């Protein structure tokens, strides 16, 4: 038995030393030390030994096992090293190859307009507010003085989620939210940019999803002339000092008086960009402001319309098609 073990050891050493790669070494390990391996099968014969021989042979077998494991480990390290050296030699990097281009995105033109408008209004003392796109009927309509069966509700065909919840049709609901949050304190001056949704047919100037920026100022003695001054300052900053502006009377249930504002485009004529007016006393009252003491103005402008006029874009759908040929033109905006 002792002889058998020594033979096995000598043979195994040769096999290990001549293993040509890691896979071959792995197979040798299984053949020697695995459950059905050579060493294991020699040890199986131990039952036939005398009680005297058994501990001696057992100790020898353990020693051989450790020796084989050490040789295998040493060989494994050697083979791995050789593999690495070979990889370094064959996988040369060609530093003269041109690099993969990194594509840099740009600010979307609608975002660029929003940021420009925000800057202008922050400069006039307004703060930027936010409101939810999924809005309640209460804030979108009721608080804005649209009664349940008010015919004005037909003006804005809406995406309802439940009878009480809808995708907001305008950013005006934020007016009531901000007034309630401010709990009757003044001055209140906010603008709120965001997406709005309507069941409008998509065409060159209308989209079922578009962006608005709402504006609201509430204080003692806020006047129509202040509203006019704020809007003219904004329009002249965005479109240039020479831009002609027209204020037209119009109706919105949440303002009194109400108006629409057009600007003149030499190619297209007069174009409506926003609605505005003095906050209706009932809207102030519902949101916790005494209309005898406070007045306010509000406006809501269409971001796409502003961007179209500013950059000479003829079709609103370009903003939403994600065509890189269109978007790349604004990379430096």
Q: Does 131 bind ligand FA5 (CB under 6 A)?
A: no
CB-count burial class (<10 Å; 0-12, 13-18, 19+) for 296: buried
Q: Does 177 bind ligand FA5 (CB under 6 A)?
A: no
Q: Does 212 bind ligand FA5 (CB under 6 A)?
A: yes
How many CA atoms lie within 13 Å of 287's alpha carbon, on the beta-carbon side?
33
Do the Cβ atoms of 173 and 191 come closer than 8 Å?
no
Among 289, 299, 309, 319, binds ligand FA5 (CB under 6 A): 299
Do the Cβ atoms of 167 and 275 come closer than 8 Å?
no
Strands 245-250 and 209-219: unpaired
At closest approach, how far in Å is the CB of 91 from ligand FA5? 56
Q: Does 116 bind ligand FA5 (CB under 6 A)?
A: no
Distances (CA, A) of 309 to 9, 195, 323: 89, 19, 20
Nearer Cβ to ligand FA5 (37/173): 173
Q: Does 192 bind ligand FA5 (CB under 6 A)?
A: no
Among 71, 126, 197, 210, binds ligand FA5 (CB under 6 A): 210
Q: Does 39 bind ligand FA5 (CB under 6 A)?
A: no
Nearer Cβ to ligand FA5 (131/302): 302
Nearer Cβ to ligand FA5 (38/272): 272
Strands 127-128 and 188-197: parallel
Which residues from 266-295 bind ligand FA5, rule CB under 6 A? 272-277
Nearest of 47, 42, 59 to residue 1 by alpha carbon: 42
Catalog residues that contact ligand FA5 under the rule CB under 6 A. 170, 172, 198, 200, 206-207, 210, 212, 252, 255, 258, 272-277, 298-300, 302, 304-305, 316
């Amino acid at each position: 038995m002792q002889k058998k073990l020594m033979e096995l050891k000598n043979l195994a050493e040769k096999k290990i030393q001549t293993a040509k790669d890691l896979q071959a070494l792995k197979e040798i390990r299984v053949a020697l030390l695995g459950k059905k391996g050579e060493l294991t099968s020699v040890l199986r014969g131990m039952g036939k030994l005398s009680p005297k021989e058994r501990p001696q042979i057992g100790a020898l077998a353990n020693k051989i096992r450790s020796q084989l494991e050490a040789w295998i480990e040493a060989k494994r390290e050697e083979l791995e090293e050789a593999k690495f050296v070979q990889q370094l030699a064959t996988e040369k990097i060609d530093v003269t190859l041109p690099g993969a281009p990194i594509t840099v995105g740009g600010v979307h033109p609608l975002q660029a307009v929003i940021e420009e408008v925000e800057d202008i209004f922050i400069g006039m003392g307004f703060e930027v507010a936010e409101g939810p796109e999924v809005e309640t009927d209460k804030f979108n309509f009721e608080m804005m003085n649209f009664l349940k069966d008010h015919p004005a509700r037909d003006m804005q065909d809406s995406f309802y989620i439940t009878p009480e919840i809808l995708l907001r049709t305008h950013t005006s609901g934020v007016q009531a939210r901000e007034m309630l949050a401010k709990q009757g304190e003044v001055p209140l001056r906010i603008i709120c940019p965001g997406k709005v949704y309507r069941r409008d047919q998509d065409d060159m100037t209308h989209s079922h999803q578009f962006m608005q920026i709402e504006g609201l100022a509430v204080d003692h003695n806020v006047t129509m002339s202040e509203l006019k001054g704020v809007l003219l300052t904004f329009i002249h900053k965005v479109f240039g000092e020479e831009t002609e502006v027209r204020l037209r009377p119009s109706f919105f249930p949440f303002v009194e008086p109400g108006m629409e504002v057009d600007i003149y485009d030499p190619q297209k004529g007069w174009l409506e960009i926003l609605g505005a007016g003095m906050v209706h006393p009932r809207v102030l009252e519902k949101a916790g402001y005494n209309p005898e003491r406070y007045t306010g103005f509000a406006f809501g402008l269409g971001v796409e319309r502003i961007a179209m006029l500013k950059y000479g874009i003829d079709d609103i759908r370009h903003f939403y098609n994600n065509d890189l040929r269109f978007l790349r033109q604004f990379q430096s905006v």
